Structure 1
Amino acid sequence: MKNLILTLFSTLFLFSCSQKQEVQPAKKETSAGSIFVLNSKWQNQDGKELQLKDLKGKNLVVVMIFTSCTTACPILVADMQKIESKIDKNKQKETTMVLVSIDPDNDTPEVLKAYAKQLNMDGEPWLFLRSDKESLRELANVLAVKYKKISPIVFSHSNIITVFNKNGEMTSQVEGIVNSDDVAKIVNGLN
Protein backbone atom coordinates (compact mmCIF):
# COMPACT_ATOMS: atom_id res chain seq x y z
CA MET A 1 0.00 0.00 0.00
CA LYS A 2 2.85 2.33 0.89
CA ASN A 3 4.53 1.61 -2.48
CA LEU A 4 1.25 2.18 -4.31
CA ILE A 5 0.78 5.61 -2.71
CA LEU A 6 4.42 6.51 -3.43
CA THR A 7 4.07 5.42 -7.08
CA LEU A 8 0.78 7.32 -7.48
CA PHE A 9 2.29 10.45 -5.93
CA SER A 10 5.39 10.22 -8.15
CA THR A 11 3.27 9.80 -11.27
CA LEU A 12 1.10 12.80 -10.38
CA PHE A 13 4.21 14.86 -9.62
CA LEU A 14 5.88 13.96 -12.92
CA PHE A 15 2.66 14.55 -14.84
CA SER A 16 2.16 17.99 -13.30
CA CYS A 17 5.80 18.96 -13.98
CA SER A 18 5.62 17.87 -17.60
CA GLN A 19 2.58 20.01 -18.37
CA LYS A 20 3.42 23.09 -20.37
CA GLN A 21 2.80 26.15 -18.23
CA GLU A 22 1.04 28.96 -19.99
CA VAL A 23 2.88 32.22 -19.52
CA GLN A 24 0.58 35.05 -18.54
CA PRO A 25 1.60 38.53 -19.61
CA ALA A 26 2.36 40.84 -16.71
CA LYS A 27 -0.51 43.15 -15.99
CA LYS A 28 0.38 46.80 -15.97
CA GLU A 29 -2.19 47.81 -13.40
CA THR A 30 -1.50 50.38 -10.75
CA SER A 31 -0.32 48.75 -7.54
CA ALA A 32 -2.20 49.26 -4.29
CA GLY A 33 0.85 51.15 -3.02
CA SER A 34 0.55 53.74 -5.78
CA ILE A 35 -0.61 57.31 -5.36
CA PHE A 36 -2.50 56.82 -8.61
CA VAL A 37 -5.20 54.73 -6.88
CA LEU A 38 -6.54 57.92 -5.28
CA ASN A 39 -9.65 58.93 -7.21
CA SER A 40 -9.70 62.54 -6.07
CA LYS A 41 -10.13 65.36 -8.56
CA TRP A 42 -7.65 68.24 -8.66
CA GLN A 43 -7.40 71.60 -10.34
CA ASN A 44 -4.11 73.00 -11.62
CA GLN A 45 -2.89 76.60 -11.83
CA ASP A 46 -4.58 76.92 -15.24
CA GLY A 47 -7.95 75.80 -13.87
CA LYS A 48 -7.72 72.46 -15.68
CA GLU A 49 -9.20 69.49 -13.81
CA LEU A 50 -7.21 66.29 -13.50
CA GLN A 51 -6.68 63.21 -11.38
CA LEU A 52 -3.36 62.06 -9.97
CA LYS A 53 -3.40 59.06 -12.34
CA ASP A 54 -3.10 61.59 -15.19
CA LEU A 55 0.49 62.13 -13.96
CA LYS A 56 1.40 58.45 -14.41
CA GLY A 57 4.55 57.89 -16.42
CA LYS A 58 6.52 60.69 -14.78
CA ASN A 59 8.46 60.84 -11.54
CA LEU A 60 6.79 63.16 -9.06
CA VAL A 61 8.46 65.35 -6.44
CA VAL A 62 5.62 66.52 -4.18
CA VAL A 63 5.33 69.10 -1.42
CA MET A 64 2.34 70.63 0.36
CA ILE A 65 2.37 74.42 0.84
CA PHE A 66 0.10 77.48 0.86
CA THR A 67 0.88 80.63 -1.06
CA SER A 68 0.33 83.17 1.73
CA CYS A 69 2.84 81.41 4.00
CA THR A 70 5.81 83.57 5.00
CA THR A 71 7.72 81.07 7.14
CA ALA A 72 8.28 77.44 6.12
CA CYS A 73 6.74 77.46 2.63
CA PRO A 74 9.25 79.84 1.04
CA ILE A 75 11.98 77.48 2.28
CA LEU A 76 10.15 74.44 0.88
CA VAL A 77 9.67 76.19 -2.45
CA ALA A 78 13.37 77.11 -2.53
CA ASP A 79 14.19 73.46 -1.75
CA MET A 80 12.01 72.33 -4.66
CA GLN A 81 13.81 74.81 -6.93
CA LYS A 82 17.16 73.52 -5.68
CA ILE A 83 16.12 69.93 -6.41
CA GLU A 84 14.83 70.86 -9.87
CA SER A 85 18.08 72.64 -10.71
CA LYS A 86 20.10 69.49 -9.94
CA ILE A 87 18.01 67.16 -12.09
CA ASP A 88 19.67 66.23 -15.37
CA LYS A 89 17.90 68.00 -18.25
CA ASN A 90 16.89 64.64 -19.79
CA LYS A 91 15.40 63.51 -16.46
CA GLN A 92 13.52 66.81 -16.10
CA LYS A 93 11.35 65.75 -19.04
CA GLU A 94 10.43 62.65 -17.01
CA THR A 95 9.77 64.53 -13.77
CA THR A 96 6.96 66.76 -12.51
CA MET A 97 7.56 69.06 -9.56
CA VAL A 98 4.19 69.19 -7.77
CA LEU A 99 3.22 71.83 -5.21
CA VAL A 100 -0.12 71.10 -3.54
CA SER A 101 -1.97 73.88 -1.74
CA ILE A 102 -3.41 73.10 1.69
CA ASP A 103 -5.44 76.32 1.46
CA PRO A 104 -7.90 75.79 -1.40
CA ASP A 105 -10.21 78.55 -0.13
CA ASN A 106 -7.57 81.20 -0.85
CA ASP A 107 -5.30 79.44 -3.36
CA THR A 108 -7.51 79.64 -6.41
CA PRO A 109 -6.09 78.71 -9.81
CA GLU A 110 -5.50 82.43 -10.45
CA VAL A 111 -3.57 82.83 -7.19
CA LEU A 112 -1.53 79.67 -7.89
CA LYS A 113 -0.73 80.91 -11.41
CA ALA A 114 0.38 84.34 -10.15
CA TYR A 115 2.48 82.66 -7.43
CA ALA A 116 4.15 80.39 -10.01
CA LYS A 117 4.94 83.35 -12.27
CA GLN A 118 6.30 85.41 -9.38
CA LEU A 119 8.74 82.58 -8.54
CA ASN A 120 9.62 81.77 -12.17
CA MET A 121 7.98 78.37 -11.75
CA ASP A 122 5.40 78.62 -14.49
CA GLY A 123 5.56 75.94 -17.15
CA GLU A 124 7.29 72.56 -17.21
CA PRO A 125 8.17 70.80 -14.93
CA TRP A 126 6.11 72.77 -12.37
CA LEU A 127 2.55 71.86 -11.43
CA PHE A 128 0.48 73.58 -8.75
CA LEU A 129 -2.62 71.75 -7.52
CA ARG A 130 -5.61 72.40 -5.32
CA SER A 131 -8.62 70.29 -4.38
CA ASP A 132 -11.41 69.97 -1.86
CA LYS A 133 -10.58 69.55 1.82
CA GLU A 134 -11.36 65.81 1.89
CA SER A 135 -9.01 65.10 -1.01
CA LEU A 136 -6.31 67.22 0.61
CA ARG A 137 -6.61 65.23 3.84
CA GLU A 138 -6.42 61.97 1.93
CA LEU A 139 -3.26 63.03 0.11
CA ALA A 140 -1.75 64.48 3.29
CA ASN A 141 -2.28 61.11 5.00
CA VAL A 142 -0.49 59.33 2.15
CA LEU A 143 2.39 61.81 2.41
CA ALA A 144 2.40 61.73 6.25
CA VAL A 145 1.93 65.50 6.21
CA LYS A 146 0.09 66.97 9.15
CA TYR A 147 -1.49 70.40 8.88
CA LYS A 148 -3.89 72.50 10.90
CA LYS A 149 -5.46 75.87 10.25
CA ILE A 150 -4.47 78.15 13.12
CA SER A 151 -5.98 81.40 11.79
CA PRO A 152 -8.01 82.39 8.73
CA ILE A 153 -4.83 82.60 6.61
CA VAL A 154 -2.18 80.64 8.53
CA PHE A 155 -1.55 76.90 8.74
CA SER A 156 0.85 74.90 10.85
CA HIS A 157 2.16 72.01 8.75
CA SER A 158 4.84 69.38 8.26
CA ASN A 159 7.74 70.16 5.96
CA ILE A 160 8.05 66.99 3.89
CA ILE A 161 9.13 66.51 0.28
CA THR A 162 8.06 63.17 -1.18
CA VAL A 163 9.28 61.42 -4.33
CA PHE A 164 7.17 58.97 -6.36
CA ASN A 165 8.38 56.86 -9.26
CA LYS A 166 6.64 56.70 -12.63
CA ASN A 167 4.18 54.11 -11.27
CA GLY A 168 3.20 56.37 -8.39
CA GLU A 169 5.05 54.36 -5.73
CA MET A 170 6.78 56.34 -3.01
CA THR A 171 10.56 56.02 -3.26
CA SER A 172 11.77 58.55 -0.68
CA GLN A 173 10.89 61.35 1.65
CA VAL A 174 12.88 64.17 3.17
CA GLU A 175 11.63 66.08 6.18
CA GLY A 176 12.80 69.53 7.20
CA ILE A 177 15.26 71.75 5.42
CA VAL A 178 16.86 69.97 2.48
CA ASN A 179 20.65 69.75 2.52
CA SER A 180 22.95 68.79 -0.37
CA ASP A 181 22.89 65.09 0.66
CA ASP A 182 19.08 65.15 0.61
CA VAL A 183 19.07 66.78 -2.83
CA ALA A 184 21.46 64.10 -4.14
CA LYS A 185 19.27 61.35 -2.61
CA ILE A 186 16.17 62.74 -4.27
CA VAL A 187 17.81 63.34 -7.66
CA ASN A 188 19.49 59.91 -7.68
CA GLY A 189 16.15 58.28 -6.79
CA LEU A 190 14.50 59.50 -9.98
CA ASN A 191 14.37 56.64 -12.49
Structure 2
Amino acid sequence: MACEGEKTYNAFNSCSICKMDLKVIEQTSKVIVNNAISDESIFNLTTTWNTEEDEAIQLEDLKGKTLVLVMIYTTCKAACPRLVADMRNIEKQIPENQLKDLQFVLVSIDPETDTPERLKSFAIENHMDRLHWTFLQGTESSVREFANVLAVKYKQISPMDFSHSNIISVFNSGGELMHQQEGLGVDNKETVKTIIELTNKN
Protein backbone atom coordinates (compact mmCIF):
# COMPACT_ATOMS: atom_id res chain seq x y z
CA MET A 1 0.00 0.00 0.00
CA ALA A 2 1.31 3.44 -0.84
CA CYS A 3 0.69 7.07 -0.09
CA GLU A 4 2.64 10.25 -0.61
CA GLY A 5 4.66 8.87 -3.48
CA GLU A 6 7.14 6.34 -2.16
CA LYS A 7 5.73 5.96 1.37
CA THR A 8 4.26 2.47 1.93
CA TYR A 9 2.13 0.77 4.58
CA ASN A 10 1.83 -2.91 5.45
CA ALA A 11 -1.69 -2.95 6.94
CA PHE A 12 -5.21 -1.77 6.15
CA ASN A 13 -5.85 1.56 7.85
CA SER A 14 -6.10 5.27 7.16
CA CYS A 15 -3.12 7.23 5.98
CA SER A 16 -1.64 9.17 8.89
CA ILE A 17 -0.90 12.04 6.54
CA CYS A 18 -3.93 12.47 4.29
CA LYS A 19 -6.44 10.44 6.43
CA MET A 20 -7.67 8.62 3.30
CA ASP A 21 -8.47 4.89 3.44
CA LEU A 22 -5.58 2.81 2.19
CA LYS A 23 -6.05 0.40 -0.69
CA VAL A 24 -3.96 -2.54 -1.81
CA ILE A 25 -1.82 -1.78 -4.83
CA GLU A 26 -1.37 -4.64 -7.27
CA GLN A 27 2.22 -5.67 -7.58
CA THR A 28 3.50 -6.98 -10.88
CA SER A 29 6.87 -8.51 -11.50
CA LYS A 30 8.71 -7.78 -14.71
CA VAL A 31 11.16 -10.26 -16.19
CA ILE A 32 13.80 -8.69 -18.34
CA VAL A 33 15.57 -10.98 -20.74
CA ASN A 34 19.01 -9.72 -21.58
CA ASN A 35 20.01 -10.77 -25.08
CA ALA A 36 22.76 -8.20 -25.31
CA ILE A 37 25.99 -9.21 -26.98
CA SER A 38 29.20 -8.37 -25.13
CA ASP A 39 31.89 -6.24 -26.74
CA GLU A 40 34.13 -9.33 -26.94
CA SER A 41 31.62 -11.43 -28.88
CA ILE A 42 32.26 -12.55 -32.46
CA PHE A 43 28.54 -11.97 -33.02
CA ASN A 44 29.34 -8.27 -33.36
CA LEU A 45 30.70 -9.11 -36.81
CA THR A 46 27.80 -8.52 -39.16
CA THR A 47 29.19 -9.94 -42.39
CA THR A 48 27.23 -12.59 -44.28
CA TRP A 49 28.57 -16.11 -44.84
CA ASN A 50 27.45 -19.00 -47.04
CA THR A 51 27.11 -22.46 -45.52
CA GLU A 52 27.81 -25.78 -47.22
CA GLU A 53 24.04 -25.93 -47.81
CA ASP A 54 24.31 -22.62 -49.69
CA GLU A 55 22.36 -20.78 -47.02
CA ALA A 56 23.28 -17.18 -46.15
CA ILE A 57 23.85 -16.67 -42.41
CA GLN A 58 25.54 -14.29 -40.01
CA LEU A 59 27.68 -15.49 -37.12
CA GLU A 60 24.95 -14.43 -34.69
CA ASP A 61 22.75 -17.17 -36.17
CA LEU A 62 25.04 -19.60 -34.32
CA LYS A 63 24.25 -17.94 -30.98
CA GLY A 64 23.09 -20.22 -28.19
CA LYS A 65 25.53 -23.07 -28.77
CA THR A 66 29.12 -23.69 -27.77
CA LEU A 67 31.25 -23.20 -30.89
CA VAL A 68 34.42 -25.11 -31.79
CA LEU A 69 35.97 -23.31 -34.73
CA VAL A 70 38.91 -23.79 -37.06
CA MET A 71 40.07 -22.06 -40.25
CA ILE A 72 41.16 -24.39 -43.08
CA TYR A 73 41.01 -24.79 -46.87
CA THR A 74 39.86 -27.94 -48.58
CA THR A 75 42.69 -28.35 -51.13
CA CYS A 76 45.30 -28.39 -48.36
CA LYS A 77 47.39 -31.56 -48.33
CA ALA A 78 49.44 -30.96 -45.19
CA ALA A 79 48.16 -29.20 -42.06
CA CYS A 80 44.42 -29.03 -42.73
CA PRO A 81 43.79 -32.81 -42.87
CA ARG A 82 45.45 -33.03 -39.47
CA LEU A 83 43.32 -30.14 -38.14
CA VAL A 84 40.24 -31.94 -39.41
CA ALA A 85 41.41 -35.10 -37.66
CA ASP A 86 41.89 -33.08 -34.45
CA MET A 87 38.33 -31.75 -34.73
CA ARG A 88 37.01 -35.28 -35.26
CA ASN A 89 39.02 -36.49 -32.27
CA ILE A 90 37.48 -33.75 -30.10
CA GLU A 91 34.01 -34.70 -31.34
CA LYS A 92 34.53 -38.34 -30.29
CA GLN A 93 35.23 -37.26 -26.70
CA ILE A 94 32.02 -35.26 -26.31
CA PRO A 95 29.04 -37.20 -24.86
CA GLU A 96 26.41 -37.77 -27.56
CA ASN A 97 23.71 -36.00 -25.54
CA GLN A 98 25.80 -32.80 -25.48
CA LEU A 99 26.35 -32.58 -29.23
CA LYS A 100 22.97 -30.86 -29.65
CA ASP A 101 24.38 -27.87 -27.72
CA LEU A 102 27.58 -27.82 -29.73
CA GLN A 103 28.50 -26.58 -33.22
CA PHE A 104 31.73 -27.42 -34.99
CA VAL A 105 32.48 -24.65 -37.50
CA LEU A 106 35.07 -24.78 -40.29
CA VAL A 107 35.78 -21.47 -42.01
CA SER A 108 37.54 -21.53 -45.37
CA ILE A 109 40.51 -19.24 -45.90
CA ASP A 110 40.18 -19.86 -49.65
CA PRO A 111 36.67 -18.60 -50.47
CA GLU A 112 37.31 -18.53 -54.20
CA THR A 113 37.93 -22.29 -54.41
CA ASP A 114 35.80 -23.39 -51.47
CA THR A 115 32.33 -22.78 -52.85
CA PRO A 116 29.33 -24.11 -50.90
CA GLU A 117 29.23 -27.08 -53.29
CA ARG A 118 32.91 -27.85 -52.66
CA LEU A 119 32.43 -27.50 -48.90
CA LYS A 120 29.45 -29.87 -49.01
CA SER A 121 31.48 -32.49 -50.85
CA PHE A 122 34.33 -32.08 -48.37
CA ALA A 123 31.94 -32.51 -45.45
CA ILE A 124 30.56 -35.74 -46.89
CA GLU A 125 34.02 -37.10 -47.76
CA ASN A 126 35.19 -36.51 -44.20
CA HIS A 127 31.99 -37.73 -42.47
CA MET A 128 31.34 -34.24 -41.14
CA ASP A 129 27.84 -33.78 -42.54
CA ARG A 130 25.83 -34.20 -39.33
CA LEU A 131 23.81 -31.25 -38.03
CA HIS A 132 26.49 -30.16 -35.55
CA TRP A 133 28.99 -29.48 -38.36
CA THR A 134 28.89 -26.20 -40.30
CA PHE A 135 31.19 -25.01 -43.08
CA LEU A 136 31.42 -21.33 -43.95
CA GLN A 137 32.50 -19.48 -47.09
CA GLY A 138 32.90 -15.72 -46.83
CA THR A 139 34.46 -12.97 -48.89
CA GLU A 140 38.19 -12.33 -48.83
CA SER A 141 37.66 -9.28 -46.60
CA SER A 142 35.31 -11.04 -44.16
CA VAL A 143 37.69 -14.01 -43.86
CA ARG A 144 40.62 -11.66 -43.21
CA GLU A 145 38.62 -9.74 -40.60
CA PHE A 146 37.62 -12.94 -38.83
CA ALA A 147 41.17 -14.31 -38.90
CA ASN A 148 42.40 -11.11 -37.25
CA VAL A 149 39.85 -11.53 -34.45
CA LEU A 150 41.08 -15.09 -33.84
CA ALA A 151 44.78 -14.17 -34.19
CA VAL A 152 44.97 -16.66 -37.07
CA LYS A 153 47.60 -15.74 -39.66
CA TYR A 154 47.49 -17.01 -43.23
CA LYS A 155 49.15 -16.16 -46.50
CA GLN A 156 48.67 -17.43 -50.03
CA ILE A 157 52.01 -18.80 -51.23
CA SER A 158 50.85 -20.28 -54.55
CA PRO A 159 47.57 -20.40 -56.53
CA MET A 160 46.41 -23.46 -54.54
CA ASP A 161 48.47 -23.28 -51.37
CA PHE A 162 48.42 -21.25 -48.14
CA SER A 163 50.60 -21.07 -45.08
CA HIS A 164 48.46 -20.59 -41.97
CA SER A 165 48.18 -20.86 -38.19
CA ASN A 166 46.88 -24.13 -36.75
CA ILE A 167 44.46 -22.96 -34.08
CA ILE A 168 41.21 -24.48 -32.81
CA SER A 169 39.09 -21.92 -30.93
CA VAL A 170 36.28 -22.54 -28.44
CA PHE A 171 33.54 -19.96 -27.88
CA ASN A 172 30.74 -19.88 -25.33
CA SER A 173 27.10 -19.57 -26.38
CA GLY A 174 27.43 -15.77 -26.39
CA GLY A 175 30.27 -15.85 -28.91
CA GLU A 176 33.06 -15.02 -26.45
CA LEU A 177 36.43 -16.72 -26.91
CA MET A 178 37.09 -19.07 -23.99
CA HIS A 179 39.98 -21.29 -25.11
CA GLN A 180 42.41 -21.84 -27.96
CA GLN A 181 44.41 -24.93 -28.88
CA GLU A 182 47.44 -24.34 -31.08
CA GLY A 183 49.40 -26.95 -32.99
CA LEU A 184 48.71 -30.25 -34.73
CA GLY A 185 47.97 -33.49 -32.92
CA VAL A 186 48.46 -31.83 -29.52
CA ASP A 187 46.95 -33.00 -26.23
CA ASN A 188 43.36 -31.75 -26.39
CA LYS A 189 42.41 -32.55 -22.78
CA GLU A 190 41.90 -28.90 -21.82
CA THR A 191 39.96 -28.20 -25.02
CA VAL A 192 37.57 -31.08 -24.38
CA LYS A 193 37.19 -30.10 -20.72
CA THR A 194 36.32 -26.52 -21.69
CA ILE A 195 33.77 -27.68 -24.28
CA ILE A 196 32.02 -30.03 -21.87
CA GLU A 197 31.87 -27.35 -19.15
CA LEU A 198 30.41 -24.81 -21.57
CA THR A 199 27.81 -27.18 -23.05
CA ASN A 200 26.69 -28.07 -19.53
CA LYS A 201 25.89 -24.36 -19.01
CA ASN A 202 23.83 -24.01 -22.23
| Residue 181 (structure 1) aligned with residue 173 (structure 2) | no
1:1-80 matches, within 5 Å, as 25=32, 27-80=34-87
Deviation at 1:180, TM superposition (A): 4.1
Letter in 2 for 1:119: N
Deviation at 1:172, TM superposition (A): 0.4
State how far apart, in whole Å, the 2-side matches of 1:28 and 1:183 are: 26
| Residue 117 (structure 1) aligned with residue 124 (structure 2) | yes
| Residue 101 (structure 1) aligned with residue 108 (structure 2) | yes
Would you say the 8 A contact 1:46–1:109 is kept in 2? yes
State how far apart, in whole Å, the 2-side matches of 1:24 and 1:56 are: 21
Unaligned runs of 5+ in 2: 1-6, 8-29
Q: Which has the larger radius of gyration?
A: 2
Deviation at 1:88, TM superposition (A): 1.3
Deviations 1:101-140 (A, max 9, x none): 0000100111100000001111211100010011001110
Deviation at 1:63, TM superposition (A): 0.1
Letter in 2 for 1:166: S
Would you say the 8 A contact 1:34–1:167 is kept in 2? yes
Secondary structure in 2 matching 1:124: coil
State how far apart, in whole Å, the 2-side matches of 1:105 and 1:32 are: 31
Unaligned runs of 5+ in 1: 1-17
Deviations 1:67-111 (A, max 9, x none): 000100001000000111111112100000000000001001111
Structure with greater helix share of residues: 1
Letter in 1 for 2:116: P
1:84 aligned residue: 91
2:18 aligned residue: none
State how far apart, in whole Å, the 2-side matches of 1:184 and 1:66 are: 24
Secondary structure in 2 matching 1:93: helix
1:138 aligned residue (136, 145, 154): 145
- The aligned length equals 172
State how far apart, in whole Å, the 2-side matches of 1:71 and 1:184 are: 24
The root-mean-square deviation of aligned C-alpha atoms, in Å, is: 1.9
Change (3 A) 1:183 1:163: closer
Letter in 1 for 2:89: K
Secondary structure in 1 matching 2:198: coil
| Residue 129 (structure 1) aligned with residue 159 (structure 2) | no
Deviation at 1:27, TM superposition (A): 2.9
- TM-score normalized with structure 1 length: 0.84
Would you say the 8 A contact 1:161–1:175 is kept in 2? yes
Residue identity over aligned pairs, in percent, reads: 50
